[in-house]
């Protein structure tokens, strides 16, 4: 698995005339080597792969990184240690991840690297590989999605009068872990009433009230892969306005999912949902992108937005999450995770999407 990823990375290195690539983004190090610690650097050459770790991770790296030579360092920065190792490899051009190396770290690299080694900035070399998930990755993502679905089914009947937004979020988090998640994919959102009009609201001590929307956005992390789902329910009987807004969001999502196909651009899919919502009079109330890539990171790359030129390919995993947010009143978002297939899209989150009205 990791060997295949390294082969593809080396093809990119050849195209860019790079002898070696210094990988410093920890998610990319995991993707290429399997290392699950929090601090390391990876140097990939045309012939081998070397990971640098401090003594906290020496044993761990030797157990996890079966395709990499493990180099220990002590008493210096990770970047300085990486530069010293690069100096010994007989290379003349070293690429580095420009988006993930701080100015301070770059200065450290330049200070310690041999003068005859030319530094080459790179962008998204590993991230481009991560766009297309292999069968192993898709299997883990399916499991993460199933845990999120199970959690929703478990908690939906347990939301009671007197509970706060924080109570709901805590119940979701506990249930995710009880069902097998390693942890929450991100900070769980449980936002009711006017707070639900904030797309990324943090749960508060506000007590749930009849007549409100309750928006729940959460996900499971399972073996380093994430799911991301949003369901919005009504507390008590829904008003005509609430039913109308909810149905517009649901229809927009279904239309967007139906439009997904290989070869289309991310912005084209975004436009399907955005134009429909606008045609129903709520264009100004949908202020974020339609969705994002999903994987090792919750936001694993560009997905569906007004500016996304990403060309859809089979194996991509993305979210589809239109919303309508009305300040002072409330908001609705409905989100599912999808896999781009050869013919369209497969939705891998299965929680019901028809409007649920909970009797408190």
Q: Which residues face 235 on adjacent strands?
A: 358
Q: Where does the chain hold its CATH 3.90.230.10 domain(s)?
A: 135-358
CATH number of 2-130: 3.40.350.10
Report the Cα–Cα distance between both ends of the chain, in Å, rounded. 50
Contact (CB, 8 A) for 318 and 346: no
Q: Residue 210: name the closest of 250, 169, 242, 249 by CA.
A: 242
Q: Where does the chain hold its CATH 3.40.350.10 domain(s)?
A: 2-130
Per 3-state DSSP, the chain is made up of helix, strand and coil in percentages (nearest 5) of 40, 25, 40
Q: How far apart are the C-alpha atoms of 225 and 6, rounded to whole Å?
A: 20
Q: Which tokens sit at 121?
A: 């900035």
Contact (CB, 8 A) for 30 and 5: no
Q: Which tokens sit at 225?
A: 């892969």
Q: Which tokens sit at 212?
A: 């409100």
* Alpha-carbon torsion (160, 165, 167, 168), positive or negative: positive
Question: What CATH class is the domain 135-358?
Answer: alpha beta
| Residue in the block written with tokens 């790296």 | 61
What ranges make up the beta strands (E) of 69-185?
69-72, 93-97, 118-122, 183-184
Strands 225-226 and 189-192: unpaired
Q: What are the φ and ψ backbone dihedral angles of 275, each rounded to 5 degrees?
A: -70, -35
**Per-residue pLDDT of the chain in tens (360 residues, 90 and over written 9):** 789 999 999 999 999 999 999 999 999 999 999 999 999 999 999 999 999 999 999 999 999 999 999 999 999 999 999 999 999 999 999 999 999 999 999 999 999 999 999 999 999 999 999 999 999 999 999 999 999 999 999 999 999 999 999 999 999 999 999 999 999 999 999 999 999 999 999 999 999 999 999 999 999 999 999 999 999 999 999 999 999 999 999 999 999 999 999 999 999 999 999 999 999 999 999 999 999 999 999 999 889 999 999 999 999 999 999 999 999 999 999 999 999 999 999 999 999 999 999 998
pTM for the full model?
A: 0.95
Contact (CB, 8 A) for 194 and 223: no
Q: Which tokens sit at 40?
A: 């390391």
* Alpha-carbon torsion (109, 110, 112, 118), positive or negative: positive
Q: How far apart are the C-alpha atoms of 8 and 67, rounded to whole Å?
A: 15
| Residue in the block written with tokens 């990823």 | 5
């Amino acid at each position: 698995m990791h060997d295949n990823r390294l082969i593809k990375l080396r093809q990119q290195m050849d195209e860019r005339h790079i002898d070696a690539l210094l990988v410093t983004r920890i998610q990319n190090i995991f993707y290429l080597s399997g290392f699950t610690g929090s601090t390391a650097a990876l140097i990939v050459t045309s012939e081998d792969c070397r990971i640098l770790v401090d003594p906290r991770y020496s044993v761990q790296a030797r157990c996890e990184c079966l395709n990499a030579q493990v180099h220990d360092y002590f008493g210096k920065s990770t970047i300085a240690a990486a530069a010293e190792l690069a100096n010994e490899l007989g290379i003349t051009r070293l690429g580095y991840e420009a988006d993930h190396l701080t100015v301070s770290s770059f200065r450290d690299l330049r200070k310690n690297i041999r003068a005859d080694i030319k530094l080459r900035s790179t962008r998204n070399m590993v991230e481009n590989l991560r766009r297309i998930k292999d069968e192993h990755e898709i299997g883990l993502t399916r499991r993460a999605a199933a845990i999120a679905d199970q959690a929703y089914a478990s908690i939906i009947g347990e939301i009671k009068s007197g509970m706060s937004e924080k109570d709901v979020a805590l119940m979701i988090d506990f249930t995710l872990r009880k069902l097998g998640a390693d942890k929450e994919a991100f900070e769980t959102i449980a936002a009711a009433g006017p707070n639900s009009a904030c797309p990324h609201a943090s749960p508060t001590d506000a007590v749930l009230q009849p007549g409100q929307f309750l928006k729940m956005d959460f996900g499971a992390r399972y073996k380093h892969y994430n799911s991301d789902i949003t369901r919005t329910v009504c507390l008590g009987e829904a008003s005509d306005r609430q039913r109308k807004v909810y149905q517009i969001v649901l229809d927009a999502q279904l239309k967007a999912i139906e439009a997904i196909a290989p070869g289309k651009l991310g912005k084209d899919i975004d436009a399907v949902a955005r134009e429909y919502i606008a045609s129903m009079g709520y264009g100004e109330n949908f202020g974020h992108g339609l969705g994002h890539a999903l994987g090792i990171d919750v936001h694993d790359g560009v997905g569906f937005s007004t500016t996304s030129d990403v060309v859809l390919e089979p194996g991509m995993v993305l979210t589809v999450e239109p919303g309508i947010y009305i300040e002072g009143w409330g908001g609705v978002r409905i989100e599912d995770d999808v896999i781009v297939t050869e013919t369209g899209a497969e939705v891998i989150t299965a929680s019901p999407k028809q409007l649920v009205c909970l009797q408190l």
